[in-house]
Amino acid sequence: MATAASSPYARSPKWSAPEPGATRYGRLDTVIRQLGAADIVMEIDSAPNPSSAAKLAFARDAGAVPVWIRFGKGGIDAPNGVAVIDLRAPVRELQTGACG
């Protein structure tokens, strides 16, 4: 059984990306490291966030696969090459009952 100490997927590198107009770096919300493949980097936001877009574009340019998960309100102005998971639409209530 893989543990956090032994699994190559359990530890992700600290990806840092520049904040727009700043000299210091911001950190991405989530990084999934894959052996032999590009890292998957994610930002998760409930509202439009230009710094998230900039961090994801930076990661894309560095060879990672960027994913922006959006929920809440506001538009999505994602940079080219950034995948978006749009959770802003209302979720239907689950129906209980017999199937078939």
- Residue 12 included in any domain: no
**Residue 56 is part of which domain span?**
20-86
Q: Hey, CA dihedral for 54, 24, 30, 59, is it positive or negative?
A: positive
- Among candidates 74, 85, 19, which has minimal Cα distance to 52? 19
- Residue 98 included in any domain: no
SS3 67: strand
**For residues 35 and 57, what is the distance between their CA atoms, to the nearest angstrom?**
22
**Lookup result for tokens 């060879």:** 63
The predicted-structure confidence for 18-56, as pLDDT tens digits, reads as follows: 666 666 667 889 999 889 999 999 999 999 999 899 889
The predicted-structure confidence for 71-86, as pLDDT tens digits, reads as follows: 998 988 999 999 999 9
Residues 6+ apart with CB under 8 A from 23: none
- Residue 94 included in any domain: no
Provide the whole-model pTM.
0.70
